[in-house]
Structures are given as structure tokens and as C-alpha cells.
Amino acid sequence: MFLRRHSRLVSVSVIVIAVGFVMVPPAFSQDFLVGTWTATITIPSGPGSQQMVTSTVTFNVGARGKSLVGRMTITDDQNRIVAGVWREVGKSISITYEPVCDPASSSPCGTLLLIGKVKPATGTIKGTRAIVMWDTKNSQNPSLYDTSNGSFSAQIVNQ
């Protein structure tokens, strides 16, 4: 009798816990980044360059839904649009995309990784870093490509 009752109690407890996990949104699903943002990005003009270039872009950030990664579009200051992805854990965010690149130009192409913390009260992203992984191979770098560091700042325009 005790085992049968104990077994039912365990079964009911497991069901309640399982339903709780399904119904309670995960802690990472605040989506503070969802909306339209204006960002200013400053990075070196190329691998190993001391000359910095600054560009202004607009992020149109969509909700993640049940995914860990959300999608977004990035519009540069020449009105060219590319796709990107973002991830948010707590208030820490990362954004990754490849800016428009003209292979015919002398400028190298690359992938941008933007890292920072969303400050919902002020509608800004702070503590930011911009990391560029250039399309130039470098066997001395652990990533096997040239990388450079820069910064960015962002302000929400529309939520």
C-alpha cells in the first residue's frame, strides 16, 4: 500500500514539475533587445590597421520565440540591408553579422561580433566590444584568421 501511494505521489510530482517547466518562461527570454536600434560601430579599417572607421547602422531586432537565437536585419548608412543573429542571456547580448562587402574593392571583408549589456531603463547598450574576424588567413592567430577589436554604442529608437 505504501509503495503504491508513494509511486502515485512521485508520478504526480514529476507531472507537476514537467508542466511547470513548460509553462514558466526561461530566465533568458526577456528579449530586451527586441525593437529598432541605432548603433555606431568603430573598427579598424583592416587587419593590423591603426586607422579606425566609424559607421552608423540600424538594427531591426525580432523576437526569439522559443529559440536561443533571434534574427535581425541590419541597415547600413548607405541603405544596404544584411541579415544577422542575436542572443541574449540575462541582459548580456551578442550580435553577429557580415557587413556588406565589395570584393572588387581593396577593403577586406569580415564578420562582426558585437558584445554588450542592454540597459532597459535607459534604452542603451553599454560595456560594448566589437570584434572583427577578417577574411584574411593568419596561422599565428588561434582563430586562423586576422582579428581586430573596436567598439560600438547603441540606443533604442522603437520598442
Cα(149)–Cα(132) distance, integer angstroms:
6
Share of the chain above pLDDT 90, in %: 62
Query: Average of pLDDT values for 73-91?
Result: 94
Domain regions of the chain by residue span: 35-158
Could you read off the pLDDT of 106-129 as tens digits, one per residue?
Answer: 778 999 999 999 998 899 999 899
Please list, in sequence order, all residues whose beta carbon lies within 8 angstroms of the beta carbon of residue 133, skipping any fewer than 6 positions away: 110, 111, 113, 143, 145, 146, 147
Q: Which pTM value belongs to this model? A: 0.78
Does CATH place domain 35-158 in 1.10.287?
A: no
